[in-house]
């Protein structure tokens, strides 16, 4: 059966002035950055850089694109963002690939011929739509397994294709190799491959096409912009997370206009105004282990330190390319329901509104800034930008030593790493220790912010990607 042409849709980001970074970088670094970006725009004149992924909101890739594309556009690069269309069956297949690339197979099975057919047919329809928009000589940056099957058609059309994998594991097992065997035939003609870490590179592509570009955060996005304590409290009250009457919960949008938090989160409870809180922000994903966070808090933190846990994620079913969120939310809710009443009341499950992504970002920003400790107890992680976000805000972080988290956190200096992500005792002890030692926690947070400034802000990423694209065109 012939594939039906898909209706890919564009995400409009608008420009953001790169001059925002001048004071943060200092004059010498700023001059280098500004010159490099303007030279990049001159090289790309007459060509379009297309980013293609599977979701316009929710998850690290969408946030990365929303932050970075506006800076390229502000210096004159014609950069655009398209989101492919897929059925629930297609996203079930790509979720399985995602899990396999992390070395996990929930039911032990491999990818079937029927699943490959679903994958190819869906992407055939999307490819047909894309070639009508892209012209030979343009550059397409395709993100993650959902887009790998687009590579042959686009390269055949004369587009320079960069395929970027944001996920991987340090020690691949047979399940990881199964996923790469599935993907490799589609990727052979790509001009370049980008990985977040050297450890994630598989055996397929030749070295000349491999590039390592670590993700980053934008210090001036709605999710990361500075907020004083008063605004933090107002936003958390308006969203229902913090008890108290609603106030003027305003924030600054990416385009410079004022926004206001009007929607309330779906909550199991509200926090007392004076609560000491531990926060994890992530999608409802088994690899983020929200159930493990809840158990570790209930067993090893709550009995010893007066504190609350907030597990925050998007409203269920608001992220199009992740069909398992409802199931994971039910699991963590069940874990909470089994706790004794006193502990259960101090575990808050928060589904944050996603109708307005910048409103959502403002709530996340306020929640992370209000946290006494931010945790990321992932079982596997591609990079973990929520860790960088918390570090930028000067928060002490306790996280698993997995994937790109290890690149961000220097254990004992800018955060605490747990060697075994399943070690509840180690996790709980680290969190409780920071809650008991506010001065030590603040020292970790101060160093964490400096590390993000040095290593993981947007200008470094923009310059590395510009260098790669320039080399191809």
Which residues of the chain does CATH 3.40.50.2000 include? 9-216+457-472, 229-455
Residue closest to 196 by CA, chosen among 177, 172, 216: 216
Exposed (0-12), middle (13-18) or buried (19+): which is 79, by Cβ within 10 Å? buried
284: number of Cβ within 10 Å: 25
Query: Which residues are registered as beta bridge partners of 417?
Result: 399
Give the mean pLDDT of 289-295: 98
Q: Which has the minimum average pLDDT: 142-156, 317-331, 350-364, 383-397?
A: 317-331
Residue closest to 7 by CA, chosen among 114, 153, 130, 113: 130
Query: Which residues are registered as beta bridge partners of 244?
Result: none
Spacing of C-alpha 132 from chain mean position: 30
**Pairwise CA distance, residues 391 & 409, whole Å:** 9
CATH fold for domain 229-455: Rossmann fold (3.40.50)
pLDDT at 347 over 50: yes
Mean pLDDT of the chain: 93
Q: Which residue has the tokens 């060697």?
A: 419
Give the mean pLDDT of 108-132: 92
pLDDT attached to residue 1: 45
Q: How confident is the model at residue 57 (pLDDT cuts 50, 70, 90)?
A: confident
Do 166 and 196 contact (CB within 8 A), yes or no? Answer: yes
Residue closest to 234 by CA, chosen among 207, 200, 260: 260
DSSP strand pairing (250-252 vs 192-195): unpaired
Our CA angle for 359, 143, 194, nearest 5°, is 120
pLDDT attached to residue 208: 86
**Pairwise CA distance, residues 287 & 310, whole Å:** 18
From the candidate CATH numbers 3.50.50.60, 1.10.730.10, 3.40.50.2000, 3.40.50.300, the one assigned to the domain spanning 9-216+457-472: 3.40.50.2000
Q: Find the distance separating the first CA and the last CA of the chain, reported in whole Å.
A: 37
Query: Which residues are registered as beta bridge partners of 278?
Result: 309, 373
**Pairwise CA distance, residues 137 & 155, whole Å:** 10
Q: How confident is the model at residue 462 (pLDDT cuts 50, 70, 90)?
A: very high
Residue closest to 311 by CA, chosen among 329, 323, 324: 329
Q: Which has the minimum average pLDDT: 60-69, 84-93, 183-192, 320-329?
A: 320-329
Q: 256 vs 421, which has greater pLDDT? A: 421
pLDDT attached to residue 440: 98
Say which residues have a Cβ less than 8 Å from residue 466's Cβ, sequence separation at least 6.
Answer: 36, 37, 40, 72
């Amino acid at each position: 059966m012939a594939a039906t042409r898909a209706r890919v849709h564009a995400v409009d980001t608008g420009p953001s002035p790169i001059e925002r970074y001048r004071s943060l970088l200092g004059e010498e670094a700023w001059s280098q950055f500004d010159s490099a970006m303007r030279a990049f725009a001159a090289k790309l004149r007459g060509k379009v850089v297309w980013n293609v992924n599977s979701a316009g909101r929710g998850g690290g890739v969408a946030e990365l694109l929303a932050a970075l594309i506006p800076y390229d556009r502000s210096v004159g690069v014609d950069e655009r963002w398209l989101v492919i269309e897929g059925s629930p069956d297609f996203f079930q297949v790509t979720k399985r690939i995602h899990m396999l690339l992390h070395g996990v197979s929930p039911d032990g099975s491999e990818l079937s011929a029927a699943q490959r057919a679903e994958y190819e047919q869906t992407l055939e329809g999307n490819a047909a739509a894309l070639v009508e928009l892209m012209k030979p000589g343009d550059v397409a940056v395709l993100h993650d397994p959902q887009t790998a099957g687009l590579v042959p058609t686009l390269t055949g059309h004369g587009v320079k294709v960069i395929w970027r994998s944001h996920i991987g594991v340090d020690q691949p097992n047979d399940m990881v190799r199964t996923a790469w065997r599935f993907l490799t035939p589609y990727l052979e003609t790509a001009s370049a491959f980008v990985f977040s870490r050297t450890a994630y590179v598989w055996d397929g592509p030749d070295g000349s096409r491999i590039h390592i570009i670590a993700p980053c955060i934008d210090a001036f996005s709605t999710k990361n912009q500075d907020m004083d304590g008063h605004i933090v409290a107002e936003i958390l009250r308006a969203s229902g997370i913090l008890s108290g009457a609603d106030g003027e919960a305003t924030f600054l949008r990416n385009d410079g206009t004022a926004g206001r938090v009007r929607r309330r989160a779906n909550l199991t409870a509200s926090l007392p105004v004076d609560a000491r809180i531990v926060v994890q922000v992530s999608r409802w994903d088994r690899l983020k282990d929200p159930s493990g966070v809840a158990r570790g808090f209930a067993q090893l933190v709550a009995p010893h330190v007066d504190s609350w846990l907030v597990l925050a994620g998007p409203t269920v079913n608001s992220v199009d390319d992740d069909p398992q969120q409802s199931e994971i939310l039910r699991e963590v809710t069940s874990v909470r329901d089994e706790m004794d009443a006193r502990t259960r009341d101090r575990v808050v499950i928060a589904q944050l509104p996603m109708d307005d992504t910048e409103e959502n970002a403002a709530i996340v920003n306020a929640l992370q800034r209000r946290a006494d400790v931010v945790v990321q107890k992932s079982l596997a992680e591609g990079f973990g930008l929520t860790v960088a976000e918390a570090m930028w805000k000067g928060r002490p972080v306790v996280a698993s030593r997995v994937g790109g988290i290890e690149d961000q956190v220097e254990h004992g200096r800018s955060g605490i790493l747990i060697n075994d992500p399943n070690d509840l005792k180690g996790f709980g002890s680290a969190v409780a220790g920071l809650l008991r030692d506010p001065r030590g926690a603040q020292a970790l947070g101060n160093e964490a912010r400096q590390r993000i400034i040095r290593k993981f802000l947007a200008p470094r990423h923009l310059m590395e990607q510009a260098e790669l694209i320039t080399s191809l065109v």
